[in-house]
């Protein structure tokens, strides 16, 4: 198991990196220019007649994007966020709204966004009133007005990165500031022109019929791009594709566009922009037109809105967060619970650790231990030492994970139990490790041939290291499975003083290791094991398949985090790694040539597409991803007021792709026809809080419920406290809870 040592070191590095809070993308001193790895942002100005009341003055944030990167328009489309600006100005000076240039349509798979690539200037008019008092010039210099801007933007390629910058600029009050006249003229030319007539928008079933009049002759007969300023009303991807129609009748342009499946607004007026195609635009001529069209007709009934937890639960979240923050800030020790409560929690942790041996997450590690005990059949001393080493690895690992989690919580990082599998890098490292173990078990290579002789001799001198590391690996891969038995205890542990919390984690580890510790010290257990023989070779190869099954599961988990491209890239790299391992088992020059070629090919492949493994893909809408129509919707904290006002009950499924129990409950109880009929009869909004990736909002919600891992199921009705159901969800339990609404 020497390879376990090597790869586990890599795993620990990846886990540590994954657990650190994300660094700020930008840290800059105030100035006119801010540069990040993805954009160059500059605050510029244009004041042709100086800065005085009534004079035209423009400020603007000019963003130059790196190739393939983009930021967003005022309506970002299916994903993204518009650029935001906050100004600090002298008294008597104010700014208007951003004069947004016409955006581009940016396809993203089956979705579409509206935004900007290359270089864009976002102009803002500066309004100087008669109340403005110019500052006195110092040292005989020219008086100037100081303005400051704090801007934030979301810059995306395949991944999206929030960035921000603080800018400052001094505008001379006298004379012309025309250095950037060309940039502002270009931005002005990209502005949509207001139409004399507002046009109309008619709701027709699940479509909108748009009618615009007064478009100039240069636009008539042309195919126009359509940009709604109101987000989440139209199906953006369809508007950007072929699933809509437009036509001309003389000087009148009409279009029929599909409504969004998850419409979030029913406006009475819709500002819309139409624009010429790039090939139809002429220098010096308008390229786009804008109308604020009144909406007629009746909006169709929308699917159940993305609901929110109740005000009571929201208040609990805020209270828990405030208490945790104040306690951390003060460095205060949390109060200790009663001795009876704490002893019950310790027994619960011990029992939970015992039951953890039955979870599928742990099966691959059990396979390794079974094979190890079989090899040492009849050697009581070796059994005892192996049991102690394995127990030490398990308990120290649980203590390390618990200590890291408590330390990060104290530092303000929102982490929950199982956080190591929220990192794509850790998941990929585990998949590589289990692939190597499987290849070794199936006989592709032997550690003695793949590792240097000095390392192999060290392994022979210290065989207990392997038993210790197998205990460490058991904790890393198995800890996300503890929630079904340990949800309450682990949530309880996070709120305990550090010493008692660590004791609870130690009890959990002792429960996990206890069967193997007993097997090492009870001779009767050892005598039940069969004697070594040829059957061990067959067992060894058989046990490779749980390893490969674990790899398949980890690739699926990565696919939930990094998308299909990330999962495909990981599979390709695992195949290359297997080929390298096989090449290293060859002899002579053949080994050198083939291994060198395979290593070089793998390095090139990793450099070309390896980033796909570590990318974080924005979760697709759960309704379409799971093929369950509009029943399940993403959990969010944005619509609590609307849901509470409507008096609608809510069922929340806190889940994650790497949680085996979550997937079992999803395919059994939560897919049962009778259970779903009860949900429909009570008109319960069903929300899914996906914790596959790290999500501070979901972590805070779990903390407020006294939990630190998934699964967690909450049924909340207006005016009632939230009901937390058991982790292994039963049909009768859910139906009884629904009946009590």
One domain, residues 179 and 68: yes
For residue 1, which of 369, 363, 362 has the smallest C-alpha distance? 369
One domain, residues 289 and 171: no
2 within a domain of the structure (yes/no): no
417 within a domain of the structure (yes/no): no
Show Cβ contacts of residue 473 under 8 Å, excluding neighbours closer than 6 positions.
Answer: 4, 8, 365, 433
DSSP strand E in 157-199: where? 160-172, 193-194
Q: In whole angstroms, what is the distance from residue 395 CA to residue 471 CA?
A: 8
DSSP strand E in 233-370: where? 245-249, 252-258, 269-276, 288-296
132-135-140 Cα angle (round to 5) = 145
Query: Between residues 695 and 11, which one has the greater pLDDT?
Result: 695
Say if residue 120's pLDDT is above 90.
yes
Say if residue 85's pLDDT is above 90.
yes
Mode of pairing for the β-strands spanning 193-194 and 288-296: parallel
**CA-only gyration radius of the chain, Å:** 31
DSSP state of 304: P
Query: Between residues 333 and 394, which one has the greater pLDDT?
Result: 394
One domain, residues 241 and 180: no
106 within a domain of the structure (yes/no): yes
Q: How many domains does the chain divide into? A: 3
Mode of pairing for the β-strands spanning 650-655 and 685-690: parallel
Q: In whole angstroms, what is the distance from residue 555 CA to residue 194 CA?
A: 52
Q: Which of 280, 296, 312 is the last residue of a domain?
A: 296
What's the chain's length in residues?
741
Query: Does the bond joining 711 to the residue before it have cis omega, within 30 degrees of 0?
Result: yes
712 within a domain of the structure (yes/no): yes
Is residue 212 helix, strand or coil? strand
Token readout for 73 is 């328009």
438-440-441 Cα angle (round to 5) = 65
Work out the pLDDT band at 40, boundaries 50, 70, 90.
Answer: very high
277-286, 345-354, 645-654, 732-741 — which is least confidently predicted?
345-354
Q: Which of 252, 281, 296 is the last residue of a domain?
A: 296
Range of 640's domain? 622-739
723 within a domain of the structure (yes/no): yes
Q: What is the pLDDT of residue 77?
A: 84
Say if residue 507's pLDDT is above 80.
yes
One domain, residues 65 and 179: yes
Mean pLDDT of the chain: 74
Q: What is the pLDDT of residue 81?
A: 81
Token readout for 296 is 């007629």
30-39, 324-333, 461-470, 577-586 — which is least confidently predicted?
324-333
Q: What mean pLDDT is predicted for residues 201-223?
A: 87
Query: Between residues 561 and 338, which one has the greater pLDDT?
Result: 561
One domain, residues 212 and 273: yes
How many Å is the maximal CA-CA distance in the chain? 99
Place of tokens 């297997």: 578
Cβ–Cβ contacts within 10 Å for residue 418, how many? 23
- Asked if residues 149 and 30 have their Cβ atoms less than 8 Å apart, the reply is no
Q: In whole angstroms, what is the distance from residue 193 CA to residue 190 CA?
A: 9
Q: In whole angstroms, what is the distance from residue 117 CA to residue 64 CA?
A: 8
- Asked if residues 143 and 72 have their Cβ atoms less than 8 Å apart, the reply is no
As a whole-number percent, the residues of the chain with pLDDT over 70 amount to 67
For residue 85, which of 104, 102, 66, 100 has the smallest C-alpha distance? 100
One domain, residues 59 and 110: yes
CATH of the domain at 694: 3.40.30.10
Q: What is the pLDDT of residues 593-627, one digit of tens each?
A: 998 999 999 898 888 888 878 776 655 443 344 44
Contacts 24+ apart (CB under 8 A), 520-526: 520/383, 520/384, 520/385, 520/386, 520/387, 520/388, 521/383, 521/384, 521/387, 523/380, 526/373, 526/377, 526/378, 526/380, 526/383
CATH of the domain at 288: 2.60.40
Phi, psi of 556 (to 5 degrees): -65, -40
Q: What is the pLDDT of residue 262?
A: 66
Place of tokens 């002579």: 588
Highest mean pLDDT among 11-20, 323-332, 697-706: 697-706
Q: In whole angstroms, what is the distance from residue 290 CA to residue 653 CA?
A: 43
In order of 488, 670, 713, the CA distances from 727 in angstroms are 10, 12, 7
Token readout for 278 is 């790039």
369 within a domain of the structure (yes/no): no
For residue 272, which of 216, 222, 224 has the smallest C-alpha distance? 224
Mode of pairing for the β-strands spanning 207-212 and 632-634: unpaired
209 within a domain of the structure (yes/no): yes
One domain, residues 149 and 31: yes
Is residue 101 helix, strand or coil? coil
H-only helix segments in 443-463? 447-450, 453-461
One domain, residues 230 and 184: no
Q: What is the pLDDT of residue 63?
A: 95
DSSP state of 195: P
Per-position b or e across 718-739, b if 16+ CB within 10 A of its CB = beeebebbebebeeeebbebbe
CATH of the domain at 49: 2.60.40.1250
Q: What is the pLDDT of residues 397-425, one digit of tens each?
A: 878 877 776 665 554 444 444 445 567 77
One domain, residues 63 and 198: no
One domain, residues 90 and 213: no
One domain, residues 66 and 172: yes
Show Cβ contacts of residue 40 under 8 Å, excluding neighbours closer than 6 positions.
Answer: 33, 34, 63, 64
Work out the pLDDT band at 311, boundaries 50, 70, 90.
Answer: very low
Token readout for 71 is 């930021």
Query: Does the bond joining 405 to the residue before it have cis omega, within 30 degrees of 0?
Result: no
One domain, residues 153 and 199: no
Q: Which of 246, 277, 296 is the last residue of a domain?
A: 296
Helix (H), strand (E) at residue 736: helix 731-739
Q: In whole angstroms, what is the distance from residue 455 CA to residue 215 CA?
A: 79
Q: What mean pLDDT is predicted for residues 561-580?
A: 86
For residue 231, which of 316, 113, 119 has the smallest C-alpha distance? 113
583 within a domain of the structure (yes/no): no
73-77, 317-321, 485-489, 574-578 — which is least confidently predicted?
317-321
- Asked if residues 178 and 273 have their Cβ atoms less than 8 Å apart, the reply is no
Token readout for 543 is 């046990």
């Amino acid at each position: 198991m020497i390879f376990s040592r090597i790869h586990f070191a890599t795993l620990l590095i990846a886990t540590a990196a994954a657990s650190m809070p994300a660094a700020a993308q930008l840290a800059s001193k105030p100035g006119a220019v801010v540069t990040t790895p993805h954009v160059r942002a500059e605050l510029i100005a244009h004041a042709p007649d100086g800065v005085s009341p009534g004079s035209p003055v423009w400020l603007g944030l000019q963003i130059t994007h790196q190739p393939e990167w983009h930021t967003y328009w005022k309506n970002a489309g299916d994903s993204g966020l518009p650029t935001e600006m906050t100004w600090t100005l002298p008294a008597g000076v104010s700014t208007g709204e951003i004069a947004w240039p016409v955006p581009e349509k940016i396809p993203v798979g089956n979705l579409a966004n509206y935004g900007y690539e290359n270089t864009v200037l976002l102009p803002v008019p500066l309004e100087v009133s008669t109340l403005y008092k110019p500052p006195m010039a110092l040292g005989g210099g020219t008086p100037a007005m100081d303005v400051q801007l704090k801007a934030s933007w979301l810059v995306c390629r395949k991944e999206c990165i929030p960035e921000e910058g603080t800018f400052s600029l001094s505008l001379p009050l006298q004379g012309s500031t025309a250095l950037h006249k060309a940039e502002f003229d270009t931005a002005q030319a990209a502005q949509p022109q207001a139409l004399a007539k507002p046009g109309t928008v008619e709701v027709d079933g699940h479509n909108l019929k748009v009618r615009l009049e007064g478009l100039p002759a240069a636009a008539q007969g042309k195919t126009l791009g359509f940009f709604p300023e109101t987000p989440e009303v139209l199906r953006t991807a369809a508007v950007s594709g072929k699933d809509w129609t437009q036509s001309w009748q003389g000087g009148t342009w009409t279009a029929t566009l599909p409504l969004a499946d998850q419409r979030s607004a029913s406006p009475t007026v819709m500002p819309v922009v139409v624009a010429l195609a790039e090939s139809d635009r002429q220098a010096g001529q308008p390229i786009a037109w804008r109308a604020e069209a009144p909406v007629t007709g009746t909006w169709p009934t929308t699917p159940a809105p993305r609901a929110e937890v109740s005000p009571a639960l929201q208040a609990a979240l805020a209270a828990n967060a405030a208490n945790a923050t104040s306690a951390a800030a003060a460095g205060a020790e949390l109060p200790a619970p009663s001795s009876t409560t704490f002893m019950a929690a310790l027994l619960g942790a011990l029992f939970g650790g015992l039951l953890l041996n039955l979870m599928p997450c742990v099966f691959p590690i059990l396979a390794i231990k079974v094979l190890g005990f079989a090899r040492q059949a009849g050697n009581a001393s070796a059994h005892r030492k192996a049991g102690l080493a394995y127990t030490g690895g398990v308990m120290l690992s649980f203590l390390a994970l618990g200590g890291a989690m408590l330390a990060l919580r104290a530092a303000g990082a929102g982490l929950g139990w199982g956080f190591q599998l929220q990192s794509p890098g850790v998941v990929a490292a585990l998949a590589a490790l289990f692939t190597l173990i499987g290849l070794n078990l199936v006989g592709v290579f032997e550690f003695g041939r793949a590792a240097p002789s000095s390392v192999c001799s060290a392994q022979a001198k210290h065989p207990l290291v392997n038993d210790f590391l197998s205990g460490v690996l058991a904790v890393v891969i198995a800890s996300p499975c503890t929630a079904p038995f340990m949800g309450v205890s682990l949530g309880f542990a996070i709120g305990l003083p550090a010493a008692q919390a660590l004791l609870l984690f130690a009890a959990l580890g002792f429960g996990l290791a206890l069967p193997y510790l007993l097997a090492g010290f009870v001779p009767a257990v050892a005598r039940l094991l069969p004697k070594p023989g040829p059957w061990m070779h067959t067992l060894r190869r058989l046990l490779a398949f749980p390893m490969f099954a674990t790899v398949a599961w980890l690739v699926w988990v990565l696919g939930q985090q990094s998308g299909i491209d990330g999962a495909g890239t990981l599979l390709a790299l695992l195949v290359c790694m297997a080929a390298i391992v096989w090449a290293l088992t060859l002899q002579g020059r053949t080994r050198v040539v083939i291994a060198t070629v395979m290593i070089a090919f793998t390095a090139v492949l990793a450099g070309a597409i390896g980033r796909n493994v570590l990318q974080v893909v924005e979760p697709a809408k759960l309704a379409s991803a799971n093929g369950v129509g509009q029943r399940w919707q993403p959990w969010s904290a944005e619509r609590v007021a609307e849901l509470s006002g409507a008096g609608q009950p809510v069922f929340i499924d806190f889940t994650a792709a790497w949680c085996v129990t979550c997937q079992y409950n999803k395919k059994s109880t939560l897919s049962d026809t009778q259970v779903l009929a009860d949900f429909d009869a009570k008109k319960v909004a069903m929300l899914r809080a996906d914790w596959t990736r790290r999500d501070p909002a979901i972590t805070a919600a779990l903390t407020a419920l006294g939990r630190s891992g998934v699964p967690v199921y909450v049924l909340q009705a207006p005016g009632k406290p939230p009901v937390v159901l058991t982790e292994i969800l039963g049909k009768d339990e859910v139906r009884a809870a629904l009946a009590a609404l």
